[in-house]
Structure 1
Amino acid sequence: MSEKKQELLLHRACTYILAHYMEPDLDRNRIATALGCSTRSLSRAFEGGGIKLHGYIRVLRLHKGRELLRRKPNLTIEKIADRLYFSSARHFATRYKELFRLSPSDERKMIRRRQ
Protein backbone atom coordinates (compact mmCIF):
# COMPACT_ATOMS: atom_id res chain seq x y z
CA MET A 1 0.00 0.00 0.00
CA SER A 2 1.38 3.42 -0.92
CA GLU A 3 2.20 6.00 1.73
CA LYS A 4 -0.60 8.24 0.47
CA LYS A 5 -3.15 5.42 0.78
CA GLN A 6 -1.89 4.61 4.28
CA GLU A 7 -2.32 8.26 5.32
CA LEU A 8 -5.85 8.28 3.93
CA LEU A 9 -6.67 5.03 5.73
CA LEU A 10 -5.24 6.42 8.97
CA HIS A 11 -7.39 9.54 8.65
CA ARG A 12 -10.51 7.50 7.92
CA ALA A 13 -9.78 5.15 10.82
CA CYS A 14 -9.24 8.03 13.26
CA THR A 15 -12.51 9.61 12.16
CA TYR A 16 -14.33 6.30 12.65
CA ILE A 17 -12.75 5.73 16.06
CA LEU A 18 -13.63 9.25 17.24
CA ALA A 19 -17.25 8.52 16.42
CA HIS A 20 -17.29 5.09 18.13
CA TYR A 21 -14.62 5.01 20.86
CA MET A 22 -17.18 4.79 23.67
CA GLU A 23 -18.64 1.56 22.33
CA PRO A 24 -17.58 -1.65 24.08
CA ASP A 25 -17.08 -3.77 20.97
CA LEU A 26 -14.74 -1.39 19.17
CA ASP A 27 -11.76 -3.41 18.00
CA ARG A 28 -9.41 -3.91 15.06
CA ASN A 29 -11.77 -6.29 13.25
CA ARG A 30 -14.80 -4.02 13.51
CA ILE A 31 -12.84 -0.98 12.32
CA ALA A 32 -11.28 -2.85 9.40
CA THR A 33 -14.68 -4.18 8.35
CA ALA A 34 -16.24 -0.72 8.55
CA LEU A 35 -13.44 0.75 6.43
CA GLY A 36 -13.32 -2.13 3.95
CA CYS A 37 -9.69 -3.02 4.55
CA SER A 38 -7.69 -5.81 6.13
CA THR A 39 -6.67 -5.71 9.77
CA ARG A 40 -3.03 -5.81 8.65
CA SER A 41 -3.48 -2.73 6.43
CA LEU A 42 -5.14 -0.95 9.33
CA SER A 43 -2.27 -1.83 11.67
CA ARG A 44 0.31 -0.65 9.13
CA ALA A 45 -1.47 2.68 8.75
CA PHE A 46 -1.23 3.26 12.49
CA GLU A 47 2.40 2.15 12.67
CA GLY A 48 3.19 4.83 10.10
CA GLY A 49 1.44 7.37 12.33
CA GLY A 50 3.62 6.57 15.34
CA ILE A 51 0.96 4.99 17.57
CA LYS A 52 -0.64 1.58 17.63
CA LEU A 53 -4.36 1.24 17.06
CA HIS A 54 -5.22 0.05 20.56
CA GLY A 55 -3.05 2.85 22.00
CA TYR A 56 -5.03 5.44 20.06
CA ILE A 57 -8.33 4.10 21.39
CA ARG A 58 -6.93 3.99 24.92
CA VAL A 59 -5.73 7.62 24.74
CA LEU A 60 -9.17 8.78 23.60
CA ARG A 61 -10.82 6.88 26.44
CA LEU A 62 -8.35 8.30 28.96
CA HIS A 63 -9.15 11.83 27.82
CA LYS A 64 -12.84 11.01 28.26
CA GLY A 65 -11.98 9.72 31.75
CA ARG A 66 -10.29 13.02 32.55
CA GLU A 67 -13.38 14.86 31.39
CA LEU A 68 -15.58 12.66 33.60
CA LEU A 69 -13.30 13.24 36.60
CA ARG A 70 -13.69 16.97 36.14
CA ARG A 71 -17.39 17.15 35.29
CA LYS A 72 -18.78 14.44 37.58
CA PRO A 73 -17.04 14.61 40.96
CA ASN A 74 -19.43 12.08 42.53
CA LEU A 75 -18.58 9.40 39.97
CA THR A 76 -16.08 6.95 41.45
CA ILE A 77 -12.88 6.06 39.66
CA GLU A 78 -14.14 2.46 39.53
CA LYS A 79 -17.28 3.56 37.70
CA ILE A 80 -15.29 5.72 35.30
CA ALA A 81 -12.96 2.81 34.54
CA ASP A 82 -15.96 0.56 33.96
CA ARG A 83 -17.65 3.09 31.64
CA LEU A 84 -14.48 3.33 29.59
CA TYR A 85 -14.05 -0.46 29.30
CA PHE A 86 -10.84 -0.74 31.30
CA SER A 87 -10.36 -4.13 32.93
CA SER A 88 -10.10 -2.56 36.40
CA ALA A 89 -9.82 0.75 38.22
CA ARG A 90 -6.18 -0.06 38.86
CA HIS A 91 -5.49 -0.54 35.15
CA PHE A 92 -7.28 2.74 34.39
CA ALA A 93 -5.30 4.58 37.09
CA THR A 94 -1.98 3.17 35.87
CA ARG A 95 -2.63 4.19 32.27
CA TYR A 96 -4.03 7.55 33.38
CA LYS A 97 -0.88 8.34 35.33
CA GLU A 98 1.32 7.30 32.39
CA LEU A 99 -0.46 9.78 30.14
CA PHE A 100 -1.19 12.70 32.44
CA ARG A 101 1.64 12.28 35.00
CA LEU A 102 -0.92 12.41 37.81
CA SER A 103 -3.16 9.72 39.25
CA PRO A 104 -6.93 10.15 38.83
CA SER A 105 -7.38 10.59 42.59
CA ASP A 106 -4.60 13.22 42.76
CA GLU A 107 -6.16 15.05 39.83
CA ARG A 108 -9.54 14.99 41.54
CA LYS A 109 -7.98 16.41 44.73
CA MET A 110 -6.44 19.28 42.73
CA ILE A 111 -9.80 20.02 41.14
CA ARG A 112 -11.49 20.17 44.56
CA ARG A 113 -8.83 22.56 45.88
CA ARG A 114 -9.49 24.97 43.00
CA GLN A 115 -13.23 25.10 43.68
Structure 2
Amino acid sequence: MSEKKLDTLDRRACAYILEHYMEPDLDRHRIAAALGCSTRNLSRAFEGSGVKLHAYIRLLRLHKGRELLHKRPHLSIEQIADRLHFSSARHFATRYKKAFGLSPSDERKMIRRRK
Protein backbone atom coordinates (compact mmCIF):
# COMPACT_ATOMS: atom_id res chain seq x y z
CA MET A 1 0.00 0.00 0.00
CA SER A 2 1.39 3.41 -0.96
CA GLU A 3 2.19 6.12 1.60
CA LYS A 4 -0.68 8.23 0.25
CA LYS A 5 -3.16 5.39 0.74
CA LEU A 6 -1.79 4.72 4.23
CA ASP A 7 -2.23 8.39 5.10
CA THR A 8 -5.82 8.32 3.85
CA LEU A 9 -6.45 5.13 5.81
CA ASP A 10 -5.00 6.74 8.94
CA ARG A 11 -7.40 9.70 8.61
CA ARG A 12 -10.38 7.42 7.96
CA ALA A 13 -9.46 5.28 10.96
CA CYS A 14 -9.16 8.33 13.21
CA ALA A 15 -12.60 9.50 12.12
CA TYR A 16 -14.06 6.04 12.76
CA ILE A 17 -12.44 5.83 16.19
CA LEU A 18 -13.71 9.28 17.13
CA GLU A 19 -17.22 8.18 16.24
CA HIS A 20 -17.02 4.83 18.08
CA TYR A 21 -14.60 5.31 21.01
CA MET A 22 -17.40 4.79 23.57
CA GLU A 23 -18.03 1.25 22.39
CA PRO A 24 -16.33 -1.46 24.47
CA ASP A 25 -15.49 -3.78 21.58
CA LEU A 26 -13.55 -1.20 19.59
CA ASP A 27 -10.35 -2.88 18.44
CA ARG A 28 -8.16 -3.19 15.37
CA HIS A 29 -10.18 -6.09 13.95
CA ARG A 30 -13.45 -4.17 14.11
CA ILE A 31 -11.90 -0.98 12.73
CA ALA A 32 -10.21 -2.83 9.85
CA ALA A 33 -13.46 -4.61 8.98
CA ALA A 34 -15.40 -1.33 9.02
CA LEU A 35 -12.83 0.34 6.77
CA GLY A 36 -12.43 -2.63 4.43
CA CYS A 37 -8.72 -3.13 5.01
CA SER A 38 -6.44 -5.64 6.67
CA THR A 39 -5.37 -5.26 10.28
CA ARG A 40 -1.78 -5.16 9.01
CA ASN A 41 -2.42 -2.15 6.76
CA LEU A 42 -4.34 -0.45 9.55
CA SER A 43 -1.38 -0.92 11.90
CA ARG A 44 1.04 0.30 9.22
CA ALA A 45 -1.07 3.43 8.71
CA PHE A 46 -0.83 4.23 12.40
CA GLU A 47 2.87 3.44 12.61
CA GLY A 48 3.43 6.26 10.13
CA SER A 49 1.97 8.74 12.61
CA GLY A 50 4.20 7.47 15.41
CA VAL A 51 1.31 6.25 17.57
CA LYS A 52 0.16 2.68 17.98
CA LEU A 53 -3.54 2.11 17.35
CA HIS A 54 -4.38 0.92 20.87
CA ALA A 55 -2.47 3.87 22.35
CA TYR A 56 -4.45 6.29 20.17
CA ILE A 57 -7.76 4.82 21.36
CA ARG A 58 -6.63 4.95 25.00
CA LEU A 59 -5.41 8.54 24.67
CA LEU A 60 -8.67 9.62 23.07
CA ARG A 61 -10.59 8.00 25.93
CA LEU A 62 -8.34 9.73 28.47
CA HIS A 63 -9.00 13.11 26.86
CA LYS A 64 -12.73 12.38 26.93
CA GLY A 65 -12.34 11.42 30.59
CA ARG A 66 -10.72 14.78 31.24
CA GLU A 67 -13.66 16.48 29.51
CA LEU A 68 -16.08 14.57 31.71
CA LEU A 69 -14.20 15.61 34.85
CA HIS A 70 -14.65 19.24 33.83
CA LYS A 71 -18.16 19.12 32.39
CA ARG A 72 -19.86 16.49 34.56
CA PRO A 73 -18.69 17.02 38.17
CA HIS A 74 -21.51 14.80 39.47
CA LEU A 75 -19.91 11.72 37.87
CA SER A 76 -17.55 9.75 40.06
CA ILE A 77 -14.16 8.74 38.76
CA GLU A 78 -15.40 5.14 38.83
CA GLN A 79 -18.34 6.09 36.60
CA ILE A 80 -16.06 7.89 34.16
CA ALA A 81 -13.67 4.94 34.03
CA ASP A 82 -16.59 2.59 33.42
CA ARG A 83 -18.10 4.76 30.66
CA LEU A 84 -14.76 4.86 28.87
CA HIS A 85 -14.20 1.10 29.23
CA PHE A 86 -11.16 1.09 31.46
CA SER A 87 -10.83 -2.14 33.42
CA SER A 88 -11.05 -0.25 36.73
CA ALA A 89 -10.98 3.22 38.22
CA ARG A 90 -7.45 2.49 39.40
CA HIS A 91 -6.31 1.63 35.88
CA PHE A 92 -7.96 4.81 34.57
CA ALA A 93 -6.27 6.90 37.29
CA THR A 94 -2.86 5.37 36.58
CA ARG A 95 -3.11 6.02 32.85
CA TYR A 96 -4.58 9.48 33.44
CA LYS A 97 -1.71 10.51 35.69
CA LYS A 98 0.82 9.19 33.20
CA ALA A 99 -0.83 11.17 30.37
CA PHE A 100 -1.58 14.44 32.17
CA GLY A 101 0.82 14.56 35.12
CA LEU A 102 -1.80 14.51 37.85
CA SER A 103 -4.46 12.12 39.03
CA PRO A 104 -8.14 12.52 38.15
CA SER A 105 -8.81 13.29 41.83
CA ASP A 106 -6.22 16.06 41.85
CA GLU A 107 -7.60 17.42 38.58
CA ARG A 108 -11.08 17.50 40.07
CA LYS A 109 -9.78 19.35 43.15
CA MET A 110 -8.16 21.96 40.90
CA ILE A 111 -11.43 22.40 39.02
CA ARG A 112 -13.34 22.96 42.26
CA ARG A 113 -10.79 25.50 43.53
CA ARG A 114 -11.16 27.55 40.33
CA LYS A 115 -14.91 27.94 40.79
TM over 0.5: yes
- Does the alignment pair 1:36 with 2:36? yes
Point out where structure 1 has 5 or more consecutive residues left out of the alignment.
none
**Deviates most, 68-77 or 85-94:** 68-77
Deviation at residue 71 of structure 1 after TM alignment? 1.3
Residues 63-88 of structure 1, C-alpha deviations (whole Å, 9 max, x = no match): 11011111111211111101100001
- What is the DSSP-based 3-state SS (H/G/I as helix, E as strand, rest coil) of the residue aligned with 1:85? coil
Between the two structures, name the one with larger relative contact order (CA 8 Å, sep ≥ 6): 2
Q: What amino acid is aligned across from residue 39 of structure 2 in structure 1?
A: T
- Does the alignment pair 1:18 with 2:40? no
Question: How many residue pairs get matched?
Answer: 115
Structure 1 Cα separation of the partners of residues 83 and 75 of structure 2: 10
- Does the alignment pair 1:78 with 2:81? no
- What is the DSSP-based 3-state SS (H/G/I as helix, E as strand, rest coil) of the residue aligned with 2:12? helix
Q: CA RMSD in A?
A: 0.7
- Give the equivalent residue in structure 1 for 2:102: 102
Point out where structure 2 has 5 or more consecutive residues left out of the alignment.
none
Deviation at residue 8 of structure 1 after TM alignment? 0.8
**TM-score, normalization by structure 2:** 0.97
Deviation at residue 36 of structure 1 after TM alignment? 0.4
- Give the equivalent residue in structure 1 for 2:3: 3
Deviation at residue 31 of structure 1 after TM alignment? 0.3
Deviation at residue 102 of structure 1 after TM alignment? 1.0
Deviation at residue 56 of structure 1 after TM alignment? 0.7
**TM-score, normalization by structure 1:** 0.97
Structure 2 Cα separation of the partners of residues 11 and 114 of structure 1: 37
Deviation at residue 99 of structure 1 after TM alignment? 1.0
- Does the alignment pair 1:27 with 2:35? no
Structure 1 Cα separation of the partners of residues 25 and 44 of structure 2: 21
- Identity within the alignment, %: 78
Deviation at residue 98 of structure 1 after TM alignment? 1.1
Structure 2 Cα separation of the partners of residues 96 and 34 of structure 1: 29
- Give the equivalent residue in structure 2 for 1:54: 54
- Give the equivalent residue in structure 2 for 1:69: 69
